[in-house]
Amino acid sequence: MHYILYYFGKLKTILILLLLVIVSSYAIKLASECNILRKKYSLLNEELLYYSFEAERLNISWQSNPWHSYSSGGLFDKEIASFINDSDSDLNISRSAGGIISISFDHIEFSLVLDIIHFIYHYHNIYVNSVEIFSNAEGGYVMGNITIVKRDSKGT
């Protein structure tokens, strides 16, 4: 009987050690997965910071309400004109009967043109058809045209 208790005690010790090995290997596996997730989170954070700094460098402001509806030209023209704060800049907005809106500009900073294009993309019922940007004789300024087309009721 004494031998049975002795071997039972050894078996119990072996089972406890085996359970300890299983639990520790599972803990190591969880720790490595957490480390991988932490690295992915860090990379995602770095990418978000990069795009945030790029947007700040290009003077693009993020808007909380990303979709607007283009219904009349008056408010749209005022919003586009609000980007231009230089009295030497030239900005003309014209419309044709086919729903084509043409914005021509001269003596405008390139970053402001990017702001205007970014602003236009917040409207769901118009889209940018073409963009032509040319370097101006004066350094840092550009001239060109942005053509916008109104979408029809089908969204095309």
> Whole-angstrom Cα distance, residue 23 to residue 30?
11
> Whole-angstrom Cα distance, residue 140 to residue 53?
21
Contact predicate 124/67, CB 8 Å: yes
84, 18: one domain = no
| Residue owning tokens 């101006």 | 136
Would the pTM of this model clear 0.75, i.e. be above it? Answer: no
Contact predicate 93/73, CB 8 Å: yes
Residue 67 lies in a domain: no
Residue 90 lies in a domain: yes
For 33-42, 54-63, 140-149, which range has the lowest pLDDT when averaged over its residues?
54-63
Structural domain boundaries enclosing 53: 1-57
Residue 156 lies in a domain: no
Residue 121 lies in a domain: yes
- pLDDT tens per residue, range 83-100: 777 667 888 888 887 778
50, 87: one domain = no
81, 140: one domain = yes
